[in-house]
Structure 1
Amino acid sequence: MTAEKRPLLITTGEPAGIGMDVVLSLAAEGKLQDFDRPMWVTADASAMQVRADELIAAGAINKAPVWQTIDVNANDVDMNALKQIPQQDIDADSAFVILNIPCAVSVVGGQINIANSAMVARQLDIAHQLAVNETVAAIITGPLQKSALIDADIKLLDGTMFSGHTEFFMQQSGCDKVVMMLANQAMKVALVTTHLALKDIPAAITADNVRQTVQIVIDDMREKFGLAQPRILVCGLNPHAGEGGHLGSEEIDIINPVLREFIDAGVNISEAMPADTLFTSRHLANCDAVIAMYHDQGLPVLKSHGFGDTVNLTLGLPYIRTSVDHGTALDLAGRGGASATSLYQALNMANEMANKSLTS
């Protein structure tokens, strides 16, 4: 399979949630064909059929889309065999290929069963293997229920509790640090710190953390977005970017010295700017990405410009990973009403990044 035609791989995540629903919705509408690439989906094929029937009964889709099933349940999946699947062996009428990973027990929409958590983790393991050996062009992750994996005693590679997709792929890839970026049509926002209590953020704003974040953003904007000279704006930590030290000294002591290293090296990046003025149309019109110091500094602004259209990206991995920006929505599973907009946008961004990475 040529690099231009490598599949996009969707992990449906928690089977009791809406991961399968949104895939079926896009497939039923014919939207999976918009990307001119094969679509591979990790799921339990039997559960997918049940979910399709439920969505038909709920009036959410008119008929079940056609898919092709490949069993990959063995502990040692033959990745080379998957890599060699010629496109002509895929039924032209199939909207997607299911990489069938059976659940341990029957799936009931909206009802978490931790007996199926190992299947969720298995999806991620297979996705990582397929991405790192370049069988697929990108991973697009559906929502999972972290609490279910924790309750099932699923561990990360380092033996700690399962804390999310990002940490899983980071450890599996041997990365010391990755960067969370959220993006929509209005802006792209990367974060120096992510899920920390507000009181713990200042201590995490170190020169090394800022420097690594900036470098990862620069590298991925070049390699995965095809921007040779990305334009980057950086938020200060404190109100008014510290007001010359009167409202905090992190900008003077930590952030700006690091940013000046990049400026001196010819990178098109700002010094620390007040967040309340950085996120205005005048500044955003002239930047490709914003780096915010913490989660609720950057993401509320971004999501106010398009919550349903927002895509979660992990920068710094050796492959492309995008994600829907919503949870499992257990109350909607199998009942209709789940929006597939975020999945569509995540697929679109993954496809664009995959195409641009071929020419960068």
Structure 2
Amino acid sequence: MSVSPVLALTTGEPAGIGPELAAMLAVAPVAGSRVVAVGDPELLAERAARLGLALEIVELAQHEAVPAAAPGRLLVWPVALRAPARPGVLNTANADYVLETLDVAIAACRDGHAAGMVTAPLHKGVILDAGHAGFRGHTEYLRDACGVEEVVMMLATDSALHALRPGWRGPAALRVALATTHLPLREVADAITGESLTRVLRILDIDLKRWYGLTAPRIAVCGLNPHAGEGGHLGREELEVIEPVLAALRAEGLRLDGPLPADTLFTPRHLEGVDAVLAMYHDQGLPVLKYAGFGSAANITLGLPFPRTSVDHGTALDLAGSGRADPGSLRVAVALAAQMASRSIIQ
């Protein structure tokens, strides 16, 4: 019998919904995974009690064996809050706590105590306000902590399009990766260089093979400008940057379509047979995916030495402590991380 992979689950901003999502997950664990929450045990117990969830909190040291998942039992690698946390009320004193949970989960993955990590949402603003200048988010923090040159942000959903569009002929799973992530729009064009786009597409191709078992993934690439530049009349980035990169990588054997106009790429005819879409910037590709499957999608960081997934939503401070938070996206993220980790174990 195969052993379910251990996943480190960071519980995110303590004033947000992350702690209660972890508690909800423990009540009904995702099959095929062993999840260890990384956070403050007292916070998790308090949030579970607020929601009326009967949970046994079990604290573990990282070197201890992780037992099989059991409904109603929440395993925890403890990290202490810096200050008491109230639902919906941000406190910069706990910014270092949030970053420590990430550091503990990263160390667990790198040291072999966990096969992957899943992250509940954090609040970038409170971390910046606490003095961590330059903090951009989970994706960039993980890149720097793991010492890799480039990572790629990708969101994926599996079945939402079939429910949304009867007769859909596109992919069973919609996967949208980003050439740039959290940048002001005026900086996007300058950030898309031949070197960066080449790195992103190579990582996307490699990790679609590594984590999804695709032997020759087909990637559709968006243009940057309306109508993919209209032959240079609406911008020259397609002619001068994107098309030369795609031609060079096709010569290496990558299966790449594009650059294609983003306003028509996300239609059944263009998505049929496509394994992933590469959008040039955050709000070019993600609104489509979130419209199709918000709450049933996961955020994936490609290019790391281990699987990392996350929810597709934010801290939802207005819902914290109310019991109205939906754990659906977290369950998708855990299931996907478990599948990815199992594939890496097998390989």
Task: Give the TM-score normalised by structure 2.
Answer: 0.90
| Percentage of pairs with the same residue | 43
Partner of 2:48: 52
Q: Distance in 2 between matches of 1:195 and 1:208?
A: 19
Q: CA deviation at 1:256?
A: 0.9
How far is 1:215 from its partner? 0.7
Match of 1:178 among 117, 128, 151: 151
TM superposition shift of 1:135: 1.7
Q: What is residue 8 of structure 1 aligned with on the other side?
A: 7
1:65 corresponds in structure 2 to 55
1:43 matched to 2:39: yes
Taking only aligned residues, the RMSD between alpha carbons, in angstroms, comes to 2.0
For residues 97 and 186 of structure 2, the distance between their equivalents in structure 1, rounded to whole angstroms, comes to 37
Which of 281, 284, 297 is the equivalent residue of 1:294?
281
Deviation at 1:162, TM superposition (A): 2.4
CA distance change for structure 1 residues 130 and 306 in 2, over 3 Å: closer, same or farther?
same
Question: Hey, what does 2:90 align to over in structure 1?
Answer: 112
Quote the offset at 1:4 in angstroms.
4.4
Q: Please, which of 229, 239, 242 is the counterpart of residue 226 of structure 2? A: 239
Q: Distance in 2 between matches of 1:37 and 1:195?
A: 31
SS at match of 2:84: coil
Q: 1:201-212, aligned counterparts within 5 Å?
A: 201-212=188-199
Q: Matches of 1:203 and 1:115 in 2, distance apart?
A: 36
Q: Counterpart of 1:197 in structure 2: which amino acid?
A: P
Q: Quick one: distance in 2 between partners of 1:3 and 1:293?
A: 40
- Where do 4+ consecutive residues of structure 1 move more than 4 Å? 90-94
- How far did 1:163 drift? 2.3
1:182 shift after superposition = 1.1
Q: Which of the residues 255, 279, 288 maps onto 1:268?
A: 255
Tell me if the contact between 1:39 and 1:95 (Cα under 8 Å) persists in the aligned partners. no
Alignment counterpart, residue 86 of structure 1, candidates 65, 68, 71: 65
Q: Deviations over 1:75-100 (max 9, x none)?
A: xxxxxxx24x3346x79676331111
Aligned equivalents of 1:330, 1:323: Cα separation in 2: 17
Structure 1 stretches lacking a partner, 5+ long:
57-62, 72-81, 155-159
Report the CA distance shift for 1:131/1:281 in structure 2 as closer, same or farther (over 3 A): same
Structure 1 CA distance, aligned partners of 2:6 and 2:43? 22
The AA in structure 2 aligned to 1:162 is: F
Q: Is the 8 A contact 1:225 1:357 kept in 2?
A: no
Deviations 1:118-150 (A, max 9, x none): 211110110111112222111100111222222
SS in 1 for 2:51: helix
* Unaligned ranges ≥5, structure 2: 162-173
Displacement after TM superposition at 1:250 (Å)? 1.5
CA distance in 1 between partners of 2:317 and 2:255 (Å): 44
- How many residue pairs end up in the alignment? 333
Structure 2 CA distance for aligned equivalents of residues 223 and 130 of structure 1: 21
